[in-house]
């Protein structure tokens, strides 16, 4: 049976960044991806923002990898001609209560090592963004935007140049552990199966990372699918803002949480400008069912990425307090994405159940040796700021690999 050194399951931005970091001619690396190309799910259906690390608790993996990833990502882009722009971001307070939340965010970001943040009063805010409304803003100059496809293409090409092999259209249906190695069985789009041996396995399967973990007997990780929709802003209003514009995050605002009809997004429905100077709003968030078959993935699994045009009313009400120039007729459906939300099991009268909530959940980047799985690394719940954090996550995984035999 064929043997390889390392297998990475999943060719999203995280799997690709890991492959680019660890691939070398002396060690054969496989990257298994169920789609026909890389980055077809969460990695290509997001706001394409380079985050600075404002929102996450000090010491969390999200905070650490986001702050480091911000620096690394700008360096990678500058050195490899990857389209990006350090556009800057404003988090807008629309009342005095939200101003206090801005101060809390400033302190949290400072604790995380985020530099150059500043609180702007109304006059200072409107000097740089005259068309927005609010009483104050937190300004983050190191937040930016990036062409995520170009970034992933760079990671993929670097991996291939160092000898990595990509296997597309292949779904992992079995992983058997023996003698500190793993027999991996995959099935292709023609329903033909193939097995090989891998010394190391890295589970970067994104939306199905918990399913892959279950294939090796780890049942403690549970992902919910959180869908977010985007609307494009037309009528030439893309020229009315110059920065990314965010509301105060709902996770910090009990009142905003309760107004679910205005969109339940933890960071709030925000306005972003992409590299083509197009303005869009989103995402909101809501939980959707998962499609599985007896614990195994359907090779032909297709997610529903449609956007309900009638939600334009919700988006309008969500942003109108700080983007007064937006009108309902400006909005047309654009795209949607699905994020893997890691949620704990809640114990109810009918037994354990998954409960969506607003509590913070961190990335899981876990060497599973403690569970009897040598040379196996799980990456679970890698959602935002996963794009920003990807090169830092790759460094962390490379460090874990250095301890393997």
The DSSP secondary structure of 55-72, one letter per residue, reads: SSPTT-HHHHHHHHHHHH
Stronger pLDDT, 114 or 179, i.e. the higher one: 114
% of the chain residues with pLDDT over 90: 82
Q: How many residues does the chain have?
A: 405
* Interacting residues of 239 by C-beta distance below 8 A, sequence separation 6+: 277
**pLDDT tens-digit readout, 271-287:** 999 999 999 999 998 88
Q: Say yes or no to pLDDT of 358 above 50.
A: no
Residue 262 clears pLDDT 50, i.e. is over it: no
Average pLDDT of the chain to the nearest whole number: 90
Q: What is the DSSP string of 3-15?
A: EEEEEEE--SHHH
State percent of the chain over pLDDT 70.
89
Assigned token pair, 82: 């990857």
- Is the pLDDT reported for residue 342 higher than 80? yes
Q: Are residues 200 and 6 in contact, defined by beta-carbon separation less than 8 angstroms?
A: yes
Q: Is pLDDT at 397 greater than 60 in this prediction?
A: yes
- 140: nearest Cα among 89, 91, 84, 101: 89
- Residue 219: what are its φ and ψ, rounded to 5°? -110, 15
Q: Give the pLDDT of residue 360.
A: 81
User: What is the average per-residue pLDDT within 18-45?
Assistant: 97
Residue 298, pLDDT above cutoff 60: no
* Predicted local confidence at residue 290, as pLDDT: 82
362, two tokens: 């961190």
Residue 299 has pLDDT above 50, yes or no: no
d(CA 86, CA 382): 24
Q: What is the pLDDT of residues 220-254, one digit of tens each?
A: 999 999 999 999 999 999 999 999 999 998 654 43
Confidence band, pLDDT 50/70/90 cuts, at residue 296:
very low
DSSP state, residue 309: G
Q: What is the pLDDT of residue 359?
A: 65
Q: Which residues of 142-161 are buried (b: 16+ CB within 10 A; e: fewer)?
A: bbbbbbbbbbbbbbbebbee
389-394 mean pLDDT: 98
pTM of this structure? 0.92
**What pLDDT does 302 receive?**
57
Could you report the per-residue pLDDT of 136-163, keeping only the tens digit for each?
999 999 999 999 999 999 999 999 999 9
In angstroms, the CA 36 to CA 34 distance is 7
**Residue pLDDT, tens place only, 176-189:** 998 889 999 999 98
Spatial CB neighbours of 210, under 8 Å, sequence gap ≥ 6: 221, 222, 223, 340, 380
Name the DSSP class of 328: G
Comparing 253-267, 311-325, 375-389, the range with the smallest average pLDDT is 253-267
User: Looking at 15-29, 253-267, 297-311, which range is the least confident one?
Assistant: 253-267
Mean pLDDT within 170-175: 97
């Amino acid at each position: 049976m064929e043997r390889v050194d390392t297998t990475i399951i999943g060719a999203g931005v995280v799997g690709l960044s890991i492959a680019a970091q660890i691939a070398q001619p002396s060690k054969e690396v496989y990257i298994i991806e169920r789609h026909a190309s890389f980055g077809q799910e969460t990695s290509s259906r997001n706001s394409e923002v380079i985050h600075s690390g404002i929102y996450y608790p000090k010491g969390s993996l999200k905070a650490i990898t986001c702050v480091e990833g911000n620096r690394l990502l700008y360096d990678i882009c500058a050195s490899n001609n990857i389209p990006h722009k350090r556009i800057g971001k404003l988090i807008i307070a629309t009342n005095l209560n939200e101003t206090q939340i801005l101060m809390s965010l400033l302190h949290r970001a400072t604790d995380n090592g985020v530099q150059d943040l500043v609180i702007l009063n109304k006059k200072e805010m409107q000097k740089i963004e005259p068309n927005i409304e609010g009483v104050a803003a937190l300004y983050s100059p190191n937040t930016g935007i990036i062409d995520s496809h170009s970034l992933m293409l760079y990671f993929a090409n670097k991996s291939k140049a160092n000898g990595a092999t990509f296997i597309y259209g292949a779904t992992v249906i079995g992983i058997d552990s023996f003698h500190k190695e793993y027999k991996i069985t995959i099935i292709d789009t023609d329903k033909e199966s193939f097995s090989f041996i891998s010394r190391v396995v890295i589970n970067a399967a994104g939306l199905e990372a918990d399913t892959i973990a279950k294939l090796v007997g780890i049942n403690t990780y549970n992902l919910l699918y959180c869908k977010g929709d985007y609307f494009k802003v037309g009528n030439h209003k893309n020229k009315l803002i110059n920065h990314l514009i965010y509301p105060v995050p709902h996770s910090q605002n009990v009142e905003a949480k309760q107004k679910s009809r205005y969109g339940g997004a933890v960071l709030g429905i925000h306005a972003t400008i992409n590299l083509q100077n197009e303005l869009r709003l989103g995402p909101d968030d809501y939980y959707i069912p998962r499609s599985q078959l007896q614990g195994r993935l359907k090779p032909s699994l297709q997610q529903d990425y449609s956007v309900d045009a009638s939600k334009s009313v919700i988006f309008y009400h969500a942003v109108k307090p700080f983007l007064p120039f937006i009108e309902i007729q400006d909005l047309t459906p654009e795209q949607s994405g699905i994020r893997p939300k890691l949620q704990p099991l809640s114990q109810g009268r009918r037994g354990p159940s998954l409960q969506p909530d607003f509590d913070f959940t961190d990335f899981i980047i876990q060497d599973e040796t403690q569970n009897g799985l040598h040379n196996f690394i799980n990456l679970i719940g890698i959602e935002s700021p996963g794009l920003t954090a990807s090169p830092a996550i790759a460094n962390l995984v490379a460090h874990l690999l250095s301890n393997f035999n």
